[in-house]
Amino acid sequence: MEADDFEGKAEQIAGLILNAQRTIVFTGAGISTESGIPDFRGKDGIWTKVDPEDFTIQRFVSQPEVRKMHWKTVAEGGMVKDAKPNAAHYAVAELEKLGKLDCVVTQNIDNLHQVAGNSSEIVFELHGNVQYVRCLNCHKRFTMAEIVARLAAEEIPECEFCKGMLKPDAVFFGEALPQLVLHEAAKRANQCDLCIVIGSTLVVYPAAYIPLYARDAGARIVIINIGPTPMDSTAAVRIEAKAGETMTRVMYHVRTKMGK
């Protein structure tokens, strides 16, 4: 993309943000790869290195060896060890601080939006959050740090309250998405007038319905992604560039237009 074209589109997105009454941001793996978290579905993604079947809820529940493998991975730091928010995460957090963000709907499980400064109450995690652990029996939720502290003594930790099976609080294959979260995200999408897609190919459903709901409700769509998406032809602005550099320039123009 030519530099002038890129800057013009960044300024155009800033104008859409300032004119919108309700903006939602929809994020996928492409925002977190810039924090060093590997993509799951890319040509060098996680699924090319491990057996996806080991990430099904059926195998996790039925096979102790699979559970042991998962907790060993967690004990070694997991896939998000040392990951920190990047410029795109901080830009989305700044939108909230400026009063220009209704919510974030994310496919990511890394907790980086909250670490960057977004309020947990407006971050809707469609695929869960790997920084937490949930008991499959009593449904009590623990922080991952609590459970990691026990892994030196327990290969397969159990719930300390009911002795039930513990599982990282991310959605495994074969599990339904959290219905209350999905319902609230869909409601916000139907009420927004601007949806900014950052780092998603929009091919993973039902998560990818969220921008479609926004579009069908009359919202303008912005897509910031490396690689095509099925919604490119209907986007008001489409930028083929990295999330961090794009959102940095967008927020520069937002602040400039707001006189900040």
What does the block give as tokens for 55?
């990430």
**What secondary structure letter does DSSP report for 164?**
P
> CA-to-CA distance for 124 and 107, rounded, in angstroms?
9
Torsion (CA) 104, 226, 115, 97 in degrees, nearest 10: -50
What does the block give as tokens for 69?
């493998």
Q: Are 201 and 227 in contact (CB under 8 A)?
A: yes
Task: Collect all residues with Cβ–Cβ distance below 8 Å to 166 and sequence separation of at least 6.
Answer: 133, 134, 135, 136, 142, 147, 157, 158, 159
Active site residue 113: no
Place of tokens 């309250």: 161
Catalytic residue among 70, 127, 139, 253: 127
Catalytic center residues? 127
